[in-house]
């Protein structure tokens, strides 16, 4: 993981810790269901940041006998756990809490503390979102944000960005639920706000879960990298054709390449070995993330 990605996680962790404390204290004082849902949301975000840091550390362990290609996919596993956590602890509990408060609405106390905490939370979440977006824009190139999420091999930055976006949306919902509930005298709007916040979290969790699952089960490298590998091999003077280029993302910065190569007839065994070494070197030079290269020869001939 790049240093920028760790900065994104640490910024989110610090912001969410301060926010969670404020939300829970305010929910305890005022009895607001929306604030309690927001407190649960921020608590889940804290746990998720810790899980991403833990996954990052585990993924950086060197290869061993049981894991000859390294442990890079551990980050993808823990990213999937983050999605499950966001869905169950954040989304489902918030919806359940909201349903209970819609069925049994409570009269809220002074709402000024709620508004103050929500404003501070918006500022802190906004800062965390800016940090994560800066990391995304530094690496996404010409892709849109959605394309970056779909094709990125490092889930940390976009996970934090999506969580922060959900935070800000939840804050807006909580504010509207409290404000309109007070002005219109409709107590159950507070519970309805909690349900909407939970639905937002479930939606974000589904997106994160799908992307993490794709990486976990063996997603290929980007199309641009595959094309660059094919071009590098096909331009070698000892090659007459290139068949399948199979790749697998083993981690944010680790790619396995298995390529079918048709060689020209070589003058000697030594020349053939040189051609193989040269092609492997060409492939590795395409991108530093290429760590494992396997050649399948369609035609190996020595004159």
Same domain for 187 and 255, yes or no, is no
Mean pLDDT, rounded, for 187-193: 86
pTM above 0.85, yes or no: no
Residue 115 vs residues 73, 110, 120, 176, 196: alpha-carbon distances, Å: 42, 10, 9, 10, 18
Same domain, 138 and 239: no
Q: Residue 15 belongs to what domain range?
A: 3-216
Collapsed DSSP state (helix, strand, coil) of residue 12? helix
Domain at 93, CATH number: 1.20.1510.10
Structure tokens at 68: 């000859």
The last residue of one of the domains, among 216, 248, 279, is 216
**297 confidence band (pLDDT: 50, 70, 90):** confident
What angle, 0 to 180 degrees and rounded to 10, lies between the N-to-C axes of helices 93-103 and 33-59?
170
Q: Which of 216, 244, 267 is the last residue of a domain?
A: 216
Kindly give the residue spans of alpha helices, DSSP state H, lying in 60-154.
Answer: 74-85, 93-103, 112-139, 145-151
Longest CA–CA span in the chain (Å) reads 91
Q: How far apart are CA 82 and CA 207, in angstroms?
A: 11
211-222 pLDDT per residue, tens: 999 999 989 999
Q: Does residue 146 or residue 34 have the better pLDDT?
A: 146
**Residue 266: per-residue pLDDT:** 66
Cα three-residue angle 157-245-58, rounded to 5 degrees:
35
Residue 31 vs residues 147, 167, 202, 231, 262: alpha-carbon distances, Å: 41, 20, 24, 63, 71
Cβ-in-10-Å burial (0-12, 13-18, 19+) of 153 comes to buried
Q: Nearest 5 degrees, angle CA 99-CA 93-CA 191?
A: 30
């Amino acid at each position: 993981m790049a240093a920028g990605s760790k900065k994104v996680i640490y910024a989110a962790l610090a912001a969410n810790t301060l926010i969670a404390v404020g939300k829970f204290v305010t929910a305890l004082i005022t009895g607001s269901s929306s604030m309690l849902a927001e407190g649960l949301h921020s608590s889940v975000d804290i746990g998720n940041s810790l899980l991403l840091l833990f996954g990052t550390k585990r993924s950086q362990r060197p290869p061993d006998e049981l894991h000859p290609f390294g442990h890079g996919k551990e980050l993808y596993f823990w990213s999937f756990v983050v999605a499950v956590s966001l869905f169950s602890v954040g989304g489902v509990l918030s919806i359940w809490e909201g349903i209970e408060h819609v069925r049994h609405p409570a009269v809220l106390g002074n709402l000024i503390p709620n508004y103050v905490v929500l404003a501070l939370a918006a500022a802190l979440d906004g800062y965390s979102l800016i940090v994560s977006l800066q990391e995304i824009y530094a690496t996404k190139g010409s892709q849109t944000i959605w394309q970056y999420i779909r094709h990125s091999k490092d889930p940390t930055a976009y996970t934090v960005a999506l969580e922060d976006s959900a935070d800000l949306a939840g804050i807006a919902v909580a504010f509207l639920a409290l404000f309109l509930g007070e002005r219109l005298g409709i107590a159950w709007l507070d519970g309805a706000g909690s349900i909407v916040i939970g639905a937002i979290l479930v939606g974000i969790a589904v997106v994160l879960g799908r992307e993490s699952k794709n990486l976990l089960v063996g997603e290929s490298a980007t199309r641009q990298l595959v094309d660059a590998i094919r071009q590098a091999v096909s331009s070698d003077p000892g090659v007459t054709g290139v068949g399948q280029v199979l790749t697998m993302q083993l981690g944010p910065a680790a790619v396995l390449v298995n390529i079918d190569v048709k060689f020209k007839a070589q003058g000697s065994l030594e020349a053939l070995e040189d051609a193989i070494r040269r092609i492997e070197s060409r492939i590795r030079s395409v991108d530093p993330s290429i760590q494992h290269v396997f050649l399948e020869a369609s035609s190996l001939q020595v004159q």
